[in-house]
Structure 1
C-alpha cells in the first residue's frame, strides 16, 4: 500500500490548576505514558506542565518540535480553563481532552484532583472559543482506561489529518441523466479538502503519453499474478497497466501542496470507446494500494472512501445500494440461518471496482450493462475490464459523508455484515444485512435525500467514524435506529 494516509505521532500535555499540587498532574501523566507503552503505543511526553498561557506556548512548541501532529490534553487535576483550551487553538492538528479519575479512597485530600469537575469547564470554554476537539464517551478514567481511549483516538486523528491535507482529482462531469451523486463542492473547501477538476481529454492525453512505458510489462505481470485463473482477457492487461501508471503519475505530478490524494473519475459512456476498456479493475487496484478511485465522478464518495481507509487502516469500496434480495433466495439461504428479516437484507453492487482481496474469488470480466448499451449485447470488446465476484463475508460499516444542495454536510453510518450467501448475480456484489435496514432505507436514505452510492469499510468502525464526522462539524449523523426508537418523520401508527 502506498503511503497515502498520515502516520500519527501523538503527544500528551498535562495541565494543572495553580491552586492544585502540580506533581499530581505530572505523576498521573507519566502513568498514562507508561500504560500506553505497555499496550504497544508510543506517546511523546511533553515535559512542560501547563498552568498558565506562557506554559501553554512552551508546551505546544515542545510538541511541535518533537514532530507531534496530534495531541492529548490531560487534566491531571481540575486544570486551568483558558490555557488548556488554548492548546487546541495554537496547535495545528487534532486534539483530544481527557481527565484523571481519583485513585484511592485513602487519598482524597492532597491526592484529589477534581478533573471530573474540570472537564465540564473545559468543554464549556472550548465551546465559547468555537474550538473543535475530541472528547471520548467516558473521558475521565484511570491511566489504563485513558491509554485505551488514546488508542481509539489514533484512527480518528489519522482521518482528520488526512482530510486536512487531501486533494481529490476529478475527470469529467457526471454522465447525463445520472446526477444522483452530484453535490456542491463548497463544503469540501470548508473541510480543507482541495479539489482539482480535470477534463476526460486531459486524462486521455496523459494516457496516450504513457504508450510504450517501460514499466508496463512489470505491471502486467503483477496483474496476471493477482488474477490467476481469473485472468480471462490477458490481451487487455497492457492497456489497463498503461492506465494504472497514468493515474499514479498524475497523482504524483499534480498533488501540489497536498500530501494525500483520491480520484473521482468518469467511467462511462465515452470512456470505454476512447480508452478501449472500462477502468473498474484498475480502480480496485489503486484502492488496494491506498488510493481511492470513486466511480462516476462521485466526489463525496471518494472522500467517504478516503475517511474509511484512514479509520479502518484497510481497503474499502464504493457500492450501489442496489437491489432487494428475492423472496425465494431469502427462504432458501437466509431464513432460519441468519437472524435477519427479508427487508433487513439487500444487495450492494458495483460493476467491478472492489479490490481483489475483498472478493471470494475475482475474475476479469466485462461490464454487462454497458455492453448492452454500447456494444448492443454482442461479443464484448471495449466494455471489458471489470473485476467481478461475490464480496467476502464478514462485518461491515456502510456509511457516507455528503453535502446537501445548500452545502450543509450530512452523514450516515450503519453497521452490519455481508452474509456468506452466493448472490447468483454479476459484478462486484454481496448480500448485506443491517438491522432495521427497511426503516433506515426509508427514513434516512430516502427522507434525507442520499444518493445510491455508499462506502463500505470491512469491519465495525462506526464508533471512530462517528467521532470523525462529529469533529468535522457534521451536525446530522444518522444511523440505523433500533426497533422502538422512532425516526423524526416515522409514522408512529404505521
Structure 2
C-alpha cells in the first residue's frame, strides 16, 4: 500500500539533573537493544546527541530527530525526568508523542541506581495537561526495557494513523443521495483533525471520465481486472468502462492531492450515476481500497475517513458495510446455535453492493446490482463484486461528526462466522458480543449512520487510543459493553 505513512519514532531519553545521567543513558541503550532484538530497527531512531536535562538539550534533541526524519516521538524517562523540558519536547515536536518510563531493575541497586521514574510520570502527565499538550500514555507506562519496547511497538499503528490524518485529503464527488441524511458530514471537524477536503460535483467527475475515452492504458487495466476476477468475471463486457473509470480516479488523485501525501475518496454511486456512466463503481472502489486508497459509497465522508484510519492501524484492506439485516431464525438454528457461543441477538448481516476487495471475499463474481436493477435496466447496473466475506476476527468501528459538530466514535470487536449467507452483494454473517444492546444503546441512541467500517482483525485497542488522541471525548467513545455493565440509557429493569 503506497497511500500510508511510514512511521519513524525518535526515542529521546530525559533525566533530572539531580539524578545520575548514566541511568538514562544505560536504560535508553537497553530499551533500544530490546526493541531491535524483537522488532528490528525500521520504525525507531535513537537520539544520541544528548540526554535531555534542560531546555537547551530539548532544542538539540528536536533538531536531531527532525534531521533524521522522525515523524513520531517517544519521550523516555530514564529517571524522574525534567518535567518542563520533557513536556516542551512534546509541545514543539510536530507529530504524535508518547511518554513511557523505566522501572527499577533490581533490589540490589536501589540506592545509586534508583531512578524514581514511577514518580516522574505523574509530574510529566500533570505538566502535559497544564500545557494542553497531547500525548499517548500506555495503560502501564512504567516498565522494563522489554516491556517498554512492546509499548513502543503498540504505539506504531497509533502514530501511523495520526501522522496519516495530518497529511490526508478527502476527495468527494457529488452531494449524498436523496434520503441519505444519515451520511451528513459537517466539515468543521475535518479541519479540526487536520484533514483537508475537496468537494466536487458529479459533473466534474463525468467530464474527467469522458476525457479518458480511448485511453491507451485501458487494455492493461482490463487485463489486471481479468486476472484478479478469474472465473468470477461474469460481466466481461463492462470491464473497459470500469478500467476507464479507475484510471479517471487515479489520475484525479494525482492531479488534486496538492500538498497532501495521502488521499481517501467519498464517491457517488446512485441514483444518476448508473444511467450516465453506464455501470456501478463498486468493483473499482474495491480495487482502490486494495491499493490503500479507501473509497466509500454514497458520499460518506466520515465513512472513508474511518476506513483510512483503519487502514493505517491495520496496514491491511478494510471495507465499509451497511449494518444491514437480521439473521433469519432458521439460519441461526441450523448454522450458528450450539456451534458458536453467540445468541441470536448477537448476530447480524453486514452488506454492501460490491465494494469489498477480492482478498476479503471467500470467492467472488462480477455481477449486476440487484436492488438498482429493480427500477433500472440491468445493463447499467453492472460492476458489483459479490461474494461472502471471509470468516475471521473483525473490528467494526466508525468515527463520526454529529450534525452539531461533535466528534463521536464506536468500536466493537467480533468475527465473521463461516456461515453461507445465501444472499447477494458483498455480505457476511457477523457476530459481536452483546450486539443487540450495542445496536440499541449506541448505534440507535447515539444516532450513528447505517455504514460501519470493518477492519479484518482485532484492532480495538489501537483504534481506541487513536480516537482518544485526536480528541473524541471519552463519554462519546463507545464500545459494546459486556453483560452486566449497563449503558446510561439502558433500562435496569428490562
Residue in structure 1 matched with residue 24 of structure 2 by the alignment:
25
Distance in 2, Cα, partners of 1:119 & 1:351: 50
Residue in structure 2 matched with residue 481 of structure 1 by the alignment:
481
Distance in 2, Cα, partners of 1:329 & 1:436: 19
Residue in structure 1 matched with residue 380 of structure 2 by the alignment:
382
The alpha-carbon deviation at position 177 of structure 1 amounts to 1.6
Match of 2:459 among 449, 458, 461: 461
The alpha-carbon deviation at position 109 of structure 1 amounts to 0.7
Say whether residues 1:398 and 2:396 are aligned partners.
yes
Distance in 2, Cα, partners of 1:358 & 1:222: 18
Residue in structure 2 matched with residue 270 of structure 1 by the alignment:
272
The alpha-carbon deviation at position 354 of structure 1 amounts to 0.2
Distance in 1, Cα, partners of 2:271 & 2:197: 23
1:124-154 CA distance string (max 9 Å, x none): 1101100101101110000000001101110
DSSP 3-state at the match of 2:138: coil
Residue in structure 2 matched with residue 341 of structure 1 by the alignment:
343
Distance in 1, Cα, partners of 2:172 & 2:75: 38
Residue in structure 2 matched with residue 35 of structure 1 by the alignment:
34
1:203-245 CA distance string (max 9 Å, x none): 0010111111111111100100110111011111000000000
The alpha-carbon deviation at position 180 of structure 1 amounts to 1.3
Report the RMSD for the aligned CA atoms in angstroms.
0.6
TM-score, length-scaled by structure 1 = 0.98
In the alignment, structure 1 segments of 5+ residues that lack a partner are: none
1:237-296 CA distance string (max 9 Å, x none): 000000000000000010001000000011000000110100000000000111000000
The alpha-carbon deviation at position 404 of structure 1 amounts to 1.0
Distance in 2, Cα, partners of 1:373 & 1:399: 32
Distance in 2, Cα, partners of 1:462 & 1:94: 19
List aligned pairs for 1:69-468, cutoff 5 A: 69-375=71-377, 380-468=378-466
DSSP 3-state at the match of 2:379: coil
Distance in 1, Cα, partners of 2:180 & 2:415: 29
1:103-130 CA distance string (max 9 Å, x none): 0101001100000000011001101100
The alpha-carbon deviation at position 368 of structure 1 amounts to 0.6
The alpha-carbon deviation at position 41 of structure 1 amounts to 2.6
Distance in 2, Cα, partners of 1:178 & 1:311: 28
DSSP 3-state at the match of 1:339: coil
Distance in 1, Cα, partners of 2:180 & 2:86: 49
Distance in 1, Cα, partners of 2:398 & 2:179: 22
TM-score, length-scaled by structure 2 = 0.98
DSSP 3-state at the match of 2:351: strand
The alpha-carbon deviation at position 190 of structure 1 amounts to 0.3
Distance in 2, Cα, partners of 1:88 & 1:364: 50
Residue in structure 1 matched with residue 491 of structure 2 by the alignment:
491
Residue in structure 2 matched with residue 67 of structure 1 by the alignment:
69
Distance in 2, Cα, partners of 1:463 & 1:276: 43
Give yes or no for contact 1:41–1:151 (8 Å, CA) kept in 2: no
Q: Which 4+ runs in 1 deviate beyond 2 A? A: none
DSSP 3-state at the match of 2:308: helix
Aligned length: 489
Distance in 2, Cα, partners of 1:447 & 1:121: 39
The alpha-carbon deviation at position 374 of structure 1 amounts to 2.2
Give yes or no for contact 2:184–2:403 (8 Å, CA) kept in 1: no
Distance in 2, Cα, partners of 1:97 & 1:40: 19
Distance in 1, Cα, partners of 2:29 & 2:414: 39
DSSP 3-state at the match of 1:180: helix
Distance in 2, Cα, partners of 1:52 & 1:31: 23
Distance in 2, Cα, partners of 1:182 & 1:77: 49
Distance in 2, Cα, partners of 1:101 & 1:355: 45
Distance in 2, Cα, partners of 1:55 & 1:288: 44
Residue in structure 2 matched with residue 44 of structure 1 by the alignment:
45
1:352-371 CA distance string (max 9 Å, x none): 00000000001100111111
The alpha-carbon deviation at position 373 of structure 1 amounts to 2.1
The alpha-carbon deviation at position 406 of structure 1 amounts to 1.2
DSSP 3-state at the match of 1:401: strand
In the alignment, structure 2 segments of 5+ residues that lack a partner are: none
Distance in 2, Cα, partners of 1:219 & 1:143: 50
